Structure 1
């Protein structure tokens, strides 16, 4: 592919997916090349409380910066490539099918999952929430495409409703510890699904709606 083909491919991505993909690549790169220290990109409760107590616009901007960059920071490596692939495939499909013509609704989904994951990350002292973002997207995609047959590594084929379990199991085997961040993302997406789709379908109140400012 030459540069014009790359540009055409990139501009062909839907807007929100393009932002997620770009941020998930750019943030690790600026940390890797020393442009920004990784500590300034992660979520640390002690840093947040210290910055909240500080005065001045710079301190509050740093707080807001951390709350966003924690979802995009990752170390360069195979894990980052996998996350970029899942964002490209599943976020793009969600944005062009489930949320087609409804970017504000998709932004609401991401904002809701982000808030839930942030609260969980603070309580569990998780400094990086990139996996939470990716699993939230992948899990909601699997809920919306439950009966579709998907392929995973080494030619494994199964219904999409098992996709999240397979991803969590793969991460557990690869890392050797419980993928808490990924579990947070999946749980937040499942809660969104329950509040927006399952509960209203059962005659309950829809507690979550798209904010007017979006």
Structure 2
């Protein structure tokens, strides 16, 4: 019974959020159990393109450090704002949300060639936070009971918090920059005089998610059909 409840709650998480957060958790567990090491996961252009270790283009987004407070904090933010976006402004537009993932990951990877950073997952999370904040400007936030502010300022508050803790703000600023680029191209520029939408989700991605969602819907309908009733209009 407990298993069914957990499984039900897990499946209630939107698909892209579910897949990404699960990947992050499984990657961290694999490192914790010594199945892999962070040295096999981090972003390294030379190893990627000279040694063809292409998996690093993905795994560097899935590792947030060893299990501890920082990991739990980062996972909470990633899950929370990724889900907020997918269930909010991207509701019914799973393909567009997945394309946002690809767009953000691609830009962060390009920036990663010029910045000395080895894991980009935190930058991707800040991108989610930035886009969500700009699309929900009237929401009031409270940061650990210390200060109140509007949602668009949350990425900058997190950046300042990192600075106060003595950490680097490079990753935060990368996420803010990419988030702003996405927000401008998707939400601002198309509304300008002569503007148009530049970020169009490729047809094959739309087809992929439409097929998947149709199959899931058909499975749900099949499971929920009452026994003894023919759905062709006959008893």
TM over 0.5: yes
Q: Does 1:115 align with 2:106?
A: yes
Residue 139 of structure 2 contacts residue 150 of structure 2 at CA under 8 Å; is this kept in 1? yes
1:126 aligned counterpart, secondary structure: coil
CA distance in 2, matches of 1:184, 1:150: 22
Give the Cα–Cα distance (whole angstroms) in 2 for the partners of residues 213 and 191 of structure 1: 24
- Tell me how many residue pairs correspond in the alignment: 203
The residue that corresponds to 2:199 in the other structure is 208
Q: Provide the residue aligned with 1:96 in structure 2.
A: 87
Deviation, 1:181, is 1.5
Q: Which has the higher contact order (CA 8 A, sep 6+)?
A: 1
Question: Unmatched 5+ residue regions in structure 2?
Answer: 206-235
SS at the partner of 1:213? helix
Q: CA deviation at 1:82?
A: 1.3
Q: Normalized against structure 1, the TM-score is what?
A: 0.89
Partner residue in 1 for 2:225: none
Structure 1: runs of 5 or more not aligned: 53-61
The structure with the largest helix share of the pair is 1
Q: Of the two, which has the highest radius of gyration?
A: 2
What CA distance in whole angstroms lies between the structure 2 residues aligned with 1:83 and 1:116? Answer: 21
Alignment of 1:8-23 (within 5 A): 8-23=8-23
The answer to whether residue 139 in structure 2 is matched with residue 139 in structure 1 is no
User: Contact 1:45 / 1:125 at 8 angstroms: preserved in 2?
Assistant: no
TM-align CA RMSD: 1.7
Q: In the alignment, what sits opposite 1:181? A: 171
CA distance in 1, matches of 2:9, 2:164: 34
Contact 2:42–2:59 (Cα < 8 Å) also in 1:
yes
